[in-house]
């Protein structure tokens, strides 16, 4: 097979993340392209989680889709939850011991899903047991069952490893790794490499996992063959790195000169800070150059205010958060805007409002990001659509913050944060560092907020001069001043930065157009919709619909003229917005900034990503006459 989709499911805390890690590294070691997404409930242990992988021998995958060719379950809930995800002729790995388990024996399963499945089972004559379900999908969809008695495997390896069965049972996720590896024909050398990488300080874990994986691998191949064998990879000569969205942003921040990072633990932002603090020392050409100070603060208010304090001393400073945390940061954001402090807020969107869907994705915070805080002040808002963009944007965020002396909000989302991809290392030669008008000493008559230029000389705290900062309106020195003429000058000074930024920032850093100039239909999106929209455009073109995709990367300052010019080339009935929000917030942003109203939209707000299969279908429905399509696919 050239490309296939795999779903691995089980209870939260059962080793799914480790399984995905080992499989991904094993596949990358064999030079396959991998894209995987982790979906999980907002509890620590027990609720259903799953990994959704796309694997390719020809390219690095850029979008997720269904149906899957393989579903592998650690428990019975996985089988009931994902059997419909399997395509014709696929395979399903499950625990033979669970065959008699029924739907009603799963206390952790959502009652809504149970009710829907009961209705479906009655319709198809399924008695509610896994055995009956497996028979149905085998007979009707030619799905190949791969039953493995997990208990027998555990008992066998328990004897081999001289471990109590209860301790050996902790390795149950390795049964699934062995089964998948055998069915895909992943090289054992690659699996061993991955195990060594994961457990380099625990040789006994390497040995125990290897025994189980080898045992199941051989058993599956002997009984079923490598029925989903991957073709030899065409990516052999390429260097690949394996990173999540959190990881790539963390790496980029360090490369871009970050020296202070604050955070309060919140999903899905916290992992970024954990990655940063894992790099205790920073070296260039073997020479230690310092470290990044990472502080877990008592709340998000302290996170942003400490970041402001760090930035005033002249270091590159950032904080990372999600929706509820950003809500608390808003007053601090306004203070930074008033005092022209170059801070970066890395904002990972998740499902709201309130706690909402804390471990699911969304793009419903766009408008909040653009207008948060009382009063008016300049802010730059940029958004990344994939891991590569996220790397360069994270560095560019610092450059923009310091060049224009204003807060920069870097918008990402849970989908990107928790997806793992194999990709070539970024080109570091393409990176430039711009610290703007920064100085470490100045004359005694220094005016921090000199109105002769919207972008004043910025001198660090501790330099050979005195400066004042306050949350009130102030004069050029920083002293509180409510005089109307002073207010007008200072207000205009700050706001004119956006005009300058709008004139100076290159268009290629603000939007991108993919596809033929004379396309029949135009998809418009931002963030994580980028790759799936580009892939959908390609498939639509194969179906006779010449489609293009307009990807918006910067929302403040908004590239109004260019977007208006692009949209004017298309019939309004053929312009389709794609957004992970109920309101199609990207449509609202375009309307406010260009006056162009997008009347066709495809939205998804279930917390699951837009999948390629449903997006293509949604676009075709729009082109057939529908104005709005709501996508809901995904467990």
The CATH number linked to 609 is 3.40.50.920
- 131 and 150 within one domain: yes
Q: Is residue 635 domain-resident?
A: no
- 380 and 299 within one domain: yes
Q: What is each CA distance from 427 to 284, 317, 430, in whole angstroms?
A: 16, 23, 6
Indicate the residue among 397, 424, 451 that finishes a domain.
424
**Residues 6+ positions from 181 with CB-CB distance below 8 Å:** 23, 26, 188, 191, 213, 217
d(CA 231, CA 94): 25
**Residues 6+ positions from 539 with CB-CB distance below 8 Å:** 612, 616
Indicate the residue among 468, 484, 504 that finishes a domain.
504
Per-residue pLDDT tens over the stretch 64-81: 999 999 999 999 999 999
- 500 and 533 within one domain: no
Residue 6 CA to chain centroid, in angstroms? 19
Q: Is residue 235 domain-resident?
A: no
Q: Is residue 233 domain-resident?
A: no
CATH number for position 159: 3.40.920.10
Given a contact cutoff of 8 angstroms between Cβ atoms, the answer to whether 173 and 14 are in contact is yes
Strand residue runs (E) in 264-379: 282-284, 287-290, 293-296, 316-321, 344-349
Domain that holds residue 12: 3-224
| Secondary structure string (H, E, C) spanning 95-138 | EHHHCCCEHHHCCCCCHHHHHHHHHHHHHHCCCCEHHHHHHHHH
- 279 and 416 within one domain: yes
Q: Is residue 230 domain-resident?
A: no
**β-bridge mates for residue 68, sequence order:** 86
Joined together, the tokens standing for residue 100 give 């008699």
- 328 and 248 within one domain: yes
CB atoms within 10 A of CB 462: 11
Q: What is the mean pLDDT of the chain?
A: 95
Taking residues 458-468, report their average pLDDT: 93
Q: Is residue 40 domain-resident?
A: yes
**β-bridge mates for residue 602, sequence order:** 578, 629
d(CA 529, CA 521): 16
Q: Is residue 84 domain-resident?
A: yes
- 595 and 534 within one domain: yes
- 528 and 471 within one domain: no
- 514 and 478 within one domain: no
d(CA 191, CA 378): 51
Per-residue pLDDT tens over the stretch 547-597: 999 999 999 999 999 999 999 999 999 999 999 999 999 999 999 999 999
Worst-scoring range by mean pLDDT, 156-160, 328-332, 469-473? 156-160
Whether the per-residue pLDDT at 136 is higher than 80: the answer is yes
Q: Count up the domains in the chain and report the number.
A: 4
d(CA 74, CA 79): 9
Residue 91 phi, psi (nearest 5): -135, 150
Q: Is residue 413 domain-resident?
A: yes
**β-bridge mates for residue 351, sequence order:** 357
Residue 238 phi, psi (nearest 5): -95, 135
Q: Is residue 237 domain-resident?
A: no
- 138 and 264 within one domain: no
What is residue 293's predicted lDDT score, i.e. its pLDDT? 95
- 469 and 487 within one domain: yes
d(CA 267, CA 236): 36
- 570 and 587 within one domain: yes
- 415 and 450 within one domain: no
Residue 222 phi, psi (nearest 5): -65, -40
Indicate the residue among 481, 504, 527 that finishes a domain.
504
Q: Give the confidence band of 384 by pLDDT, cuts at 50, 70, 90.
A: very high
Residue 357 phi, psi (nearest 5): -115, 85
């Amino acid at each position: 097979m050239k490309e296939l989709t795999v779903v691995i499911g089980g209870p939260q805390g059962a080793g799914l993340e480790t399984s995905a890690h080992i499989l991904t590294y094993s596949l990358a070691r064999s030079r396959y392209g991998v894209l995987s997404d982790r979906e999980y409930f907002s509890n620590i242990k027990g609720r259903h989680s799953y990994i959704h992988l796309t694997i390719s021998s020809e390219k690095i995958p850029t979008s997720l889709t269904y149906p899957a060719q393989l579903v592998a379950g650690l428990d019975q809930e996985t089988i009931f939850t994902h059997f419909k995800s399997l395509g014709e002729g696929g395979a399903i790995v499950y625990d033979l011991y669970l065959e008699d388990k029924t739907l009603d024996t799963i206390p952790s399963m959502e009652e809504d899903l149970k009710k829907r499945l009961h209705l479906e089972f009655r319709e198809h004559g399924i008695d509610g047991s896994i055995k009956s379900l497996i028979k149905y999908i085998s007979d009707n969809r030619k799905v190949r069952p791969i039953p493995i008695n997990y208990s027998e495997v555990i008992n066998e390896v328990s004897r081999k490893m001289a471990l109590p069965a209860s301790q050996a049972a902790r390795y149950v996720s390795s049964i699934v790794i062995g089964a998948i590896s055998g069915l895909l024909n992943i090289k054992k050398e690659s699996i061993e490499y991955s195990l060594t990488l994961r457990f380099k300080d625990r040789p006994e874990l390497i040995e125990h996992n290897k025994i189980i994986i080898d045992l199941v691998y051989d058993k599956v191949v002997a009984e079923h063959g490598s029925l989903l064998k991957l073709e030899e990879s065409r990516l052999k000569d390429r260097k690949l790195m394996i990173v999540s969205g959190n990881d790539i942003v963390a790496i980029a921040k360090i490369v871009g000169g970050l020296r202070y990072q604050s955070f309060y633990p919140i999903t899905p932002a916290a992992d970024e800070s954990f990655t940063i603090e894992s790099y205790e020392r920073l070296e260039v050409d073997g020479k230690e150059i310092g470290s990044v100070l990472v502080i877990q603060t008592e709340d998000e208010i302290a996170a942003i205010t400490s970041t402001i304090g760090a930035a005033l001393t002249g270091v590159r400073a950032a904080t990372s958060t999600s929706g509820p945390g950003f809500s608390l940061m808003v007053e601090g954001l306004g203070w930074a805007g008033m005092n022209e402090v170059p801070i970066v807020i890395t904002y990972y969107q998740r499902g709201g409002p309130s706690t909402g869907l804390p471990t699911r994705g969304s793009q419903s915070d766009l408008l909040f990001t653009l207008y948060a805080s009382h009063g008016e002040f300049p802010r730059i808002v940029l958004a990344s659509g994939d891991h590569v963009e996220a790397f360069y944007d994270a560095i560019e965020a610092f450059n923009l913050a310091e060049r224009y002396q204003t807060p920069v909000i870097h918008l990402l989302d849970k989908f990107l944060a928790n997806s793992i991809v194999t990709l070539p290392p970024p080109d570091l030669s393409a990176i430039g560092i711009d610290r703007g008008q920064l100085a470490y000493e100045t004359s005694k008559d220094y005016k921090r907020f000199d109105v002769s230029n919207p972008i004043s000389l910025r001198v660090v705290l501790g330099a050979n001069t005195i400066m004042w900062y306050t949350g009130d309106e102030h004069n050029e020195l920083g002293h509180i001043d409510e005089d109307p003429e002073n207010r007008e000058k200072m207000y205009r000074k700050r706001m004119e930065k956006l005009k300058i930024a709008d004139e100076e920032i290159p268009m290629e850093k603000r939007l991108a157009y993919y596809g033929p100039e004379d396309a029949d239909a135009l998809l418009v999106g931002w963030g994580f919709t980028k790759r799936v929209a580009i892939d959908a455009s390609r498939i639509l073109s194969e179906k006779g619909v010449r489609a293009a995709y307009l990807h918006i990367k910067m929302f403040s300052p908004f590239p109004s003229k260019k977007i208006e010019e692009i949209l004017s080339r298309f019939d309004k009935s053929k312009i389709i917005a794609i957004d992970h929000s109920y309101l199609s917030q990207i449509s609202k942003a375009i309307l406010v900034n260009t006056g162009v109203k997008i009347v066709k939209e495809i939205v998804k707000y279930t917390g699951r990503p837009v999948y390629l299969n449903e997006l293509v279908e949604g676009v075709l429905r729009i082109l057939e006459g529908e104005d709005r399509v709501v996508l809901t696919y995904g467990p």
